[in-house]
Amino acid sequence: MSTSETSKIPNSLQEHWMPFTSNKDFKENPRLITEAKGVYLKNHHGKTQIDASSGLFCNPLGHGRKEIITAVTQQLERLDYVQPFQQGFPGSFDLARKISKYTPGNLNRIFFTICGSSAVETSIKTAVAYHKAKGEGQRIHIVGRERGYHGMNIGGISVGGMIANRKTFSNILMPNVHHLRHTHLPENKFVKGEPEHP
């Protein structure tokens, strides 16, 4: 490894505990991403790989897009953040209106969250609060799907169907959660395209 590649490795990797990672193994043989451009990532060894998951779906337009960098920079120069309690930022209302044009029927109220896990947690609480406000507080059963992933908060793990996550936290999962069978049928394994059977 060259001196420039070595300089890209932090002095210590021990303090950062990474999710869904064998941390001990990773720290013995780190894979550090140091650059990104378009759909490509470059690691600290200078090797390039394709970002096939779009940064876990956060970068669907690619990395390093000049127009996105410009828009983000302009926004940060004008206003970086405003807490949304009893006040608001005009841009969030504009975005909500734009999104609502693509939603069906009267499904036109937009509640922003910071990530998918928070969105699932908020959806669970919204559904429970809605039924309680309508005098139907007994409607507390939630349906998830086996093998489904709905985030890493307790609500998301409860509704999700990832066995290892549910097993680890089984003593604190939400009650009244039921799971439908998954759709991963053995006869579809390694089949390209649509299967011929129903």
Q: Name the band, by pLDDT with cuts 50, 70 and 90, for residue 66.
A: very high
Reported pTM: 0.74
Domain made up of 3-66: CATH architecture: Alpha-Beta Complex (3.90)
Q: Tokens at residue 160, please?
A: 């999700």
| pLDDT digit string, tens, across residues 84-114 | 899 999 999 999 999 999 999 999 999 999 8
pLDDT of residue 198: 61
What CA–CA distance (Å, rounded) separates 195 from 183?
12
Backbone torsions φ then ψ of 77, nearest 5 degrees = -70, -30
Residue extent(s) of CATH 3.90.1150.10 domains in the chain: 3-66
The one-letter code for the residue type at 56 is: L
In the three-class reduction of DSSP (H, G, I as helix; E, B as strand; rest coil), residue 70 is classed as helix
pLDDT of residue 182: 83
| pLDDT digit string, tens, across residues 114-156 | 888 999 999 999 999 999 999 999 999 999 999 889 988 999 9
pLDDT of residue 181: 87
Q: For the chain, report the end-to-end CA distance as a whole number of angstroms.
A: 54
